[in-house]
Amino acid sequence: MTDELFPRERGEVAPGAVHVPGWLGPDRQRELLAACRDWARPPAGLRTVHLPGGGTMTARQLCLGWHWYPYGYARTVVDGDGAPVKPMPAWLAELGRAAVRDAYGDPDGAVGADGGETPADGGETPAYDIALVNYYDADARMGMHRDSDEKSGAPVVSLSIGDACVFRFGNTGTRSRPYTDVELRSGDLMVFGGPSRLAYHGVPRIHAGTAPPELGLTGRLNVTLRVSGLG
Ligand SMILES: O=C(O)CCC(=O)C(=O)O
């Protein structure tokens, strides 16, 4: 992708939904990519997700901390090889907290009454204990959906690496309009919490071949960090 005359700016896509372009620098992107490659190996590696209606997700997925399957969480890959889910690394949980702090500009990471504060941790954002890593090839998509299987209202943190995509951010009531299309590029951060925590969102298009060449990645990786509230 060519450099632009004007830098892309942080933007509030909807109340509580913040886009921070280029939040991860080239080194952090490379480190996260290397970690994703490691996690993608079996057991409990990258898998195709089968939906109850008979379809399959075109983005392939792996999980850390808690294993997500349609539609719940488990400690083992109940819809795959049955292996225990890989642990959520402390550094990745901390990256989630830092993302929330930076997106909302809150030095304590405390993000409001429905943003995940718990008495147990003194009012700070609780620890991120789930990572879902989605891998998109050029033809993969993700339909409009809500992240509603967690018991915590803490903001969702989403990190993008590789090809750019169209990220569609909608409303809490319906899968259709009104929505806003945001281009997410390698290194971009999206955080959605508060009134947008349960907004429908999806990925209708990947811009194939737009990953920074130095990454050596074909396709797009998205790492979404969540707080389970599952104890
Ligand atoms: O790939 C993305 O940017 C979105 C991923 C997503 O919506 C999800 O994992 O629930």
pLDDT at residue 109, as a whole number: 45
Chain-centre distance for alpha carbon 40? 16
Tokens of 133: 């890593």
pLDDT at residue 114, as a whole number: 41
Q: Is 158 in the pocket of ligand 1 (CB under 6 A)?
A: yes
Of 202, 112, 198, 194, whose CA–CA distance to 166 is shortest?
Answer: 202
Give the position, in ligand 1's atom list, of the atom nearest the Cα of 136.
1
For residue 112, the tally of other CB atoms under 10 A from its CB is 16
Q: How far is CA 196 from CA 51, 108, 112, 132, 163, in A?
A: 25, 21, 13, 19, 25
Of 15, 4, 63, whose CA–CA distance to 39 is shortest?
Answer: 63
Q: Is 167 in the pocket of ligand 1 (CB under 6 A)?
A: yes
Question: What span, in angstroms and rounded, lies between the C-alpha atoms of 219 and 97?
Answer: 27
How much of the chain, in percent, has pLDDT values that exceed 70? Answer: 90
Q: Is 159 in the pocket of ligand 1 (CB under 6 A)?
A: no
| Residues near 104 by beta carbon (within 8 Å), at least 6 away in sequence | 18, 111, 155, 191, 193
Q: Is 61 in the pocket of ligand 1 (CB under 6 A)?
A: no
> pLDDT tens, 130-142?
999 999 999 999 9
Query: Model pTM?
Result: 0.93
Q: Ligand 1 centre and the CA of 36: distance in Å?
A: 15
Question: What span, in angstroms and rounded, lies between the C-alpha atoms of 120 and 123?
Answer: 7
Instruction: With beta carbons less than 8 A apart as the criterion, state whether 225 and 95 touch.
Output: yes
Q: Is 156 in the pocket of ligand 1 (CB under 6 A)?
A: no
Of 221, 223, 224, whose CA–CA distance to 163 is shortest?
Answer: 221
Q: E-assigned strands of 23-177? A: 60-64, 67-69, 72-74, 130-136, 142-145, 156-162, 164-169
pLDDT at residue 4, as a whole number: 76
Q: What is the C-alpha radius of gyration for the chain, rounded to an integer number of angstroms?
A: 17
pLDDT tens for each residue of the chain, 231 residues long: 556 789 999 999 999 999 999 999 999 999 999 999 999 999 999 999 999 999 999 999 999 999 999 999 999 999 999 999 999 999 999 999 999 999 999 644 444 434 444 333 334 667 999 999 999 999 999 999 999 999 999 999 999 999 999 999 999 999 999 999 999 999 999 999 999 999 999 999 999 999 999 999 999 999 999 999 997
Q: Which of 73, 203, 225 to mutate to test the pocket of ligand 1 (most atoms within 8 A of CB)?
A: 203
Q: E-assigned strands of 138-200? A: 142-145, 156-162, 164-169, 180-184, 189-192
pLDDT at residue 231, as a whole number: 78
Of all protein residues, the one whose alpha carbon is nearest to atom 10 of ligand 1 is: 147
Helix (H) or strand (E) holding 20: strand 17-20
Q: Is 134 in the pocket of ligand 1 (CB under 6 A)?
A: yes
> pLDDT tens, 95-141?
999 999 999 996 444 444 344 443 333 346 679 999 999 999 999 99
Q: Is 222 in the pocket of ligand 1 (CB under 6 A)?
A: yes
Q: Ligand 1 centre and the CA of 224: distance in Å?
A: 7
Q: Is 201 in the pocket of ligand 1 (CB under 6 A)?
A: yes
| Residues near 210 by beta carbon (within 8 Å), at least 6 away in sequence | 1, 163, 164, 185
Give the position, in ligand 1's atom list, of the atom nearest the Cα of 61.
9
